[in-house]
Structure 1
């Protein structure tokens, strides 16, 4: 076990942790946004999906939430530790050259990650713990938790919708670099597949984020109501 501890403490091991947890978190984002897109199919579709999640056997929903929390905690802690180490090790003389070589998304990973973290705290308080901007309870005609009406009520407030759209755009910037560099960090580096990793994966990240951003806009414009 000592070699695992040494690897985790090393810069290379920390990068592995960020890459693996980032991949897991992106998989969750795809599932989360995909589930939320059921709002376009109406109240019954959305509420049935939400009820299905809450009725998973053997406490699978809470197990998944626990695993997600571990992944997120490791990702945030390790990413910030790497950022601090890199800043301390970077010579001042090469700052301008490094800036020229690095993309805007890569230079702002710590900042965009912080914004996403703050947004996630608000998002959990809003729709999961329901202690912020919550006017419920919302119950549909089948006695189920009316997630559809709750989401529509929240996004009918322009400030909240704009906040969610802005957060999705920031997440898109964060993913555009994270997804392109993830495979290289994990040692999956081949001339045949590198163009896919560097160009297509960021586009997939942007597609997922923009899909999520359409939901508050659809509510504001009356497409979802």
Structure 2
């Protein structure tokens, strides 16, 4: 764990919208930034143990609050959220303690079929693509469409690449990929259109654990290059392409 040194100003306006009879959406901003992410993290923490709150789903600029309709009607939940927001110490966001996750990656042609194309698109050699991707510390801004899929940003500007025009129908478990300003690890076998650079033997989801996912919103994530031999020794496989 380590302290974040960024500062966070008081948000000028947080919009609260009722999106169903059991959920409210808090809109913090229209733009993605560490400052907004810190604000969302503070509110998530403030609401975590609040009676009647069932689930909290943070994203880049929003927080979805799922509540017990037996505890709140549409007016009571909005009043409660406004009360919580009024008590948040926004100045403490810069002192956030972040959990760091280090993920080993084998950046090899057998498991990184888009590595060469990414290098060509970015006008870099493969070694430089690997160096840039693995020497950047990313923030988990949001958890996505499947358990454990964390949207990590931001990739170095030199590595900004578009998604594939034709998504793959099946991306292997543990694939490490980039798209636009983001990077991610596929925690399960799913379709996907991101550019795949390599693969990790590390499991992103542990179904027997209470915490379930290795990466949570707000975590810091680094990728550590590993050799093919290390990858195989740690349970990695080269199947899937």
**Fold-level match, TM-score > 0.5?**
no
Please classify the TM superposition score into its range, dividing by the shorter chain length: under 0.3
Q: Which has the higher strand share?
A: 2
Determine which structure has greater relative contact order: mean sequence separation of CA pairs < 8 Å that are 6+ residues apart, divided by chain length.
Answer: 1
TM-score by length of 2: 0.21
Identify the structure with the greater helix proportion: 1
TM-score, normalised to structure 1's length?
A: 0.22
